[in-house]
Structure 1
Amino acid sequence: MDMKLEVIVLPVADVDRAKDFYAERLGFRLDADFTVDDGYRVVQVTPPGSECSIIFGAGVTDAAPGSLRGLHLIVTDIEKAAAELGERGVAVEGPFRDATGVFHHAGTADRVPGAHPDRRSYGSFAAFEDPDGNAWFLQEVTQRAPGR
């Protein structure tokens, strides 16, 4: 049976501020904005090229705003993607790689400035946060590992 990741629920404090950040500043597609009543609003956005969407709003999660960490957006050119986000007014850290060359550590431990020297797929990252502090990574993938 196939199981596809379809939606990630993002905890935010200010729905309109989050909508502006994701739809306007990042350029995510605005799929829906439904206000059902005073305590229930659902906003759905989708990153360009993604089949997985992001939902935030009022009454959609009890997680603390800004508590989500480690979301990854896959890009084919880490330097270009980081530059484009910077041009959109997003503070981006990186590109960087992890000293181990495997993945990245939590937080900023063992970050080495610059993209992977060979631009090895899965080896280069950049990081940014939304206005609430939800932490995102860009990860460069140019050639998928077998079976992915």
Structure 2
Amino acid sequence: MTETAKGGIRFSEVGRIVVTVTDQDRALDFYVGTLGFDKRADIPFGDGHRWIEVGPAGAPTGISLVLPREGGRQPGYETGIILTSEDIDADHAALRARGVDTDPEVRRWGAPVPPMFGFRDVDGNVLMVVGND
């Protein structure tokens, strides 16, 4: 579509997704230390706040780890984040070996649905992993 057809809106990508956490340092350790994500930003701002952003190496979309706002979403929810795995069985086994709270097994329903499993971060936020095989 042309810019005119879009009504002048110039969105180009989904840049980042927010995940609410109770402790940013603990969450950062999990996403970087346990999941192997890159730390893309850890910037203080405002009155004692931090903007933390992580993501898989080379992935265009990042995850921002933020503290909950008053009256806002609290940690421990289905994030809607779906990560793609090149080897879902190996990644499931590796996460379980690292003590990550994963679904007991990779679910397989058959084509065209890809194999998948869920896991919870240190705050109980649920992320999904889908096989690219």
Regarding TM over 0.5, the answer is yes
The share of aligned pairs that are identical, in percent, is 33
TM-score where L is the length of structure 2? 0.78
1:63 equivalent to 2:73? Answer: yes
AA at the equivalent of 2:31: Y
AA at the equivalent of 1:80: A
Aligned residue for 2:96? 86
Instruction: Call closer, same or farther: CA 1:141–1:60 in 2, change over 3 Å.
Output: farther
Aligned residue for 2:5? none
Aligned residue for 2:56? 47
Q: Is the 8 A contact 2:80 2:128 kept in 1?
A: yes
AA at the equivalent of 2:95: L
Deviates more, 1:4-13 or 1:79-88: 79-88
Offset of residue 38 of structure 1: 4.3
Runs ≥4 residues deviating over 6 A = none
Task: Choose the corresponding residue for 1:7, options 16, 26, 29.
Answer: 16
Instruction: Call closer, same or farther: CA 1:30–1:60 in 2, change over 3 Å.
Output: farther
Offset of residue 89 of structure 1: 2.2
Matches within 5 A, 1:25-40: 25-40=34-49
Offset of residue 48 of structure 1: 3.1
Quote the Cα distance in structure 1 between the aligned partners of 2:126 and 2:114.
18
Aligned residue for 1:22? 31
Quote the Cα distance in structure 2 between the aligned partners of 1:121 and 1:141.
12
1:124 equivalent to 2:121? Answer: no
Instruction: Call closer, same or farther: CA 1:140–1:23 in 2, change over 3 Å.
Output: same
Quote the Cα distance in structure 1 between the aligned partners of 2:97 and 2:30.
14
Alignment size in residue pairs: 122
Q: Give the root-mean-square deviation of aligned CA atoms.
A: 2.3
